[in-house]
Every structure is written in C-alpha cells, then in structure tokens.
Amino acid sequence: MTATIPVIDLAPALNGDHPARVRVAREIDAACTEVGFFTIRGHGIPVEVIERLRDRASQFFNLPLQEKLLAQPEDPSVPRGYRAIGFEALSHGNTIDTPPDLKEYYHFGRPSWPDQPYYTSEQGQRFFVPNRWPDRPADFADAANDYYQRVERLAEQLMELTALALGLDEQFFADKIDRHITAMRINFYPEQKTAPEPGQLRAGEHTDYGLLTILNGENKPGGLQVQVRDGEWIPVETAPDTFVVNIGDLLMRWTNDRWVSNVHRVVNPPASAASLSQRISMGFFHHPNYDALIESVAPSGEARYPPVLSGEYRDEKYRVTRN
Ligand SMILES: O=C(O)CCC(=O)C(=O)O
Ligand SMILES: [Fe+2]
C-alpha cells in the first residue's frame, strides 16, 4: 500500500480539554514515527494572512534580477535577504553531491528582540540578525512579520502537543524555545526555460535541521516529495489553507530516533509544463534557543547521538549547504 501523509485537525487540541489534546497528540506521534510529515488544518491562522504574504512574495520574485539583487547581502554568511539561484545546494547538508538548487529565496527572522546580552552579544548576533527588505513591494515586511508572529504562536502550541506525544510534561520544551532562533524562508522556484543539469532539482534531497518545519506550499507541477520507508517518493499535497509540518534533525535526535526527520526534495516540473511552472513555498524553520543542549530524552535507553548545541548545529548546516 502506498503511504500517504496524514491530515490532522488541530482544532480539538487548540480549543478542547485534556483528553482531546491527548487524542491529537497520539495522531502526531503516529505520523512522526511513520513518515515524519503531517498536514494540519484547524490551525486558526486566517487564509488571508497566508495569501497576503504569498502575493507580496510573488510580486517581489517577479521583479527584474538586478532589482532583487539589491536585497542580497554581500557576505554569504549573513542569513537574511534575497539569495539567487546558485547560492545553495540543500543536498550537501546530507553529504550528497548535486548541482545547486533551482530556486531563489528570501530569508528573514523576527523583526526585533530585547536589548539583552543573549541577543546582542557577539554570539547572539550570529542568530539575531536585522531583517533586510526591498523597496518594492512596500508592505512585504508587514505581511512577513504578521505571518511570522502567527506561525510562531502555532509552533509553541505544536511543541506542547509534541511533548505530550512523547510522554513528557507539556511544558518540557518551553524553556528551550522561549528565545528561539527560527528563520523563515520564502522559496521561489522559477519557470524552467532551459533543461536542468543532470542531478539538478528545485531542491535537492535533504532533511531539515531543527524541531518542526511549518510550510505553506503550492500544488504545482514540480512539487514537494518525501521518501517513505520502502524508498518510494510520494507527493506531499499542500492545499492553500493548510500547512505541512515535518520534523527536523534536532527533534529526531531529541527523541533518540523514535521520530524520523525524513528525506524530502522538490522535483522539477515536466518539460511540457516547465516554462509555466512558477512555485512558491513559505517555510518556518522552528529552531530552539541557540544555547539549548539537545540530549536524547525519549524513549529511555542508550543515547544514539552525542549532545549538541542548537546554534552550533544550525551554523554547520548553513556552512555546508552554501554552494
Ligand atoms: O518547497 C517546498 O515545498 C519544500 C522546501 C524545503 O524542503 C526546504 O526549503 O527545506
Ligand atoms: Fe526541507
């Protein structure tokens, strides 16, 4: 039987009593154990918020390249602003050698933070980097900040359910994510006017790095696929008012491999549709406080990974995926 991505309705957990939360947590546990991906509805984020950011992103990415490049930091290690095709190969994070991804992206984080050493020290500045916004469209920043803040709240709620699903206190993760270093990326996969190089994809196969990725995608030719247990690649449907949630490496390590940070990729559109197939996806890469130590907690038994610091893990992944 072909595996499918489970759809989980969050509404009973967000509005309901403890037994309702436990039922939803069980669904999350099953999905993360089996495939590491699930789709959520009933999440409470208005579709207008999603559509507004999608629309502003589309306006930006359809500007001339010269104008977009004004929003590209010169220093390649700055994780903010615009990045053009050729900058990144995600597969390198999993030591697979491919040509660069056929995507552009816009990288941003929270708009502001407290004036405290955790954020402003030399180390803090690696993770709390001022956003960079283009002149056009004028309210791109507003749309992005609104979206970021709403999904940030959703991530907190999902981490409470995650703790419940793992048999931990619901607040287990609270002090590990209260100063999180989450970045968002809006990925733009342009139409393909020339054939890709051998082995070149919109996004090469990879696993994500952090806790949970919360992604709003688009069902277009040349979309997201996840590799299931028997090695088969299956498509991940992404309706406009839902999010795809997948777990990242740090959460997999935290669960001592009970949950799987699964391999996924974005394929090329078929040649017949390639010149018409723009696609946008918007990913919130929830990542713990940079000083959180990730040690396997569940289930008990011998830890399969040495402890790792959240911030170090992210920096190393950014370094190796830069093309
Ligand atoms: O575009 C997508 O649907 C997924 C992109 C992705 O996996 C990523 O940016 O990590
Ligand atoms: Fe990914």
Q: How far apart are CA 133 and CA 142, in angstroms?
A: 10
What DSSP string describes 41-79?
E-----HHHHHHHHHHHHHHHTS-HHHHHTTS-SSTT--
pLDDT above 70 as % of the chain: 98
* Residue 2 forms part of a structural domain: no
Specify the number of domains making up the chain. Answer: 1
Question: Which range of residues forms the domain containing residue 197?
Answer: 7-321
Using CA of residue 29, residue 317, residue 267, residue 63, what is the dihedral sign?
Answer: positive
ipTM metric? 0.99
Residue 124 belongs to some domain of the structure: yes
Supply the CATH number for residue 153's domain. Answer: 2.60.120.330
User: Average pLDDT of the chain?
Assistant: 95
Grade residue 1 by pLDDT with cuts at 50, 70 and 90. Answer: low
CB-CB neighbours of 74 under 10 Å: 5
Query: Which residue puts its alpha carbon closest to atom 1 of ligand 1?
Result: 281
Within-domain flag for 126: yes
202 contacts 280 by C-beta, under 8 angstroms: no
Model confidence band, residue 245 (pLDDT cutoffs 50, 70, 90): very high
Report yes or no on 74 lying in a domain.
Answer: yes
Q: Which residues contact 58 (CB under 8 A, 6 or more apart)?
A: 278, 280
Query: Ligand 1, closest atom to CA 217?
Result: 3
pLDDT category at 177 given cuts 50, 70, 90 is: very high
Mean pLDDT of 182-210: 96
Query: Do 11 and 161 form a contact (C-beta atoms < 8 A)?
Result: no
**Is the CB of 224 inside a 6 Å radius of any atom of ligand 1?**
yes
Give the pLDDT score at 19. 96
Q: Decide if 289 is inside a domain.
A: yes
Q: What is the CA angle 259-262-266, rounded to 5?
A: 155
Q: How many angstroms is it from 129 CA to the middle of ligand 1?
A: 22
Neighbours of 12 (CB within 10 A): 16
Q: Where are the alpha helices (DSSP H) in 193-264?
A: 249-254
In the predicted structure, residue 225 carries a pLDDT above the cut 90: yes
pTM of the model: 0.97
Please determine, for residue 2, whether its predicted confidence score (pLDDT) is greater than 70: no
- Counts of helices then strands in the chain (DSSP H, E): 9, 14
* pLDDT for the residue numbered 233: 96
Ligand 1 nearest atom to the CA of residue 279, by list position = 1
Q: Say if strands 7-9 and 37-41 run parallel, antiparallel, or are unpaired.
A: parallel
Tens of pLDDT, residue by residue over 104-152, are: 999 999 999 999 999 999 999 999 999 999 999 999 999 999 999 999 9
Locate the ligand 1 atom nearest the alpha carbon of residue 283 and give its number. 9
Residue 117 lies in a domain: yes
Query: Considering the domain boundaries, does residue 81 fall inside one?
Result: yes
Q: Is the CB of 93 under 6 A from ligand 1?
A: no
pLDDT reading at 292 higher than 70: yes
pLDDT band at residue 297 under the 50/70/90 scheme = confident
Where are any strands of DSSP class E within 233-300? 233-235, 243-247, 264-266, 279-285, 293-294
Tell me, yes or no, whether 1 lies in a domain: no
Predicted confidence at residue 103, as pLDDT, reads: 97
Between the CA of 233 and the centroid of ligand 2 the distance, in Å, is 14
Ligand 2 mean position to 13 CA, how many Å?
A: 26
Q: What is the CA radius of gyration of the chain?
A: 19
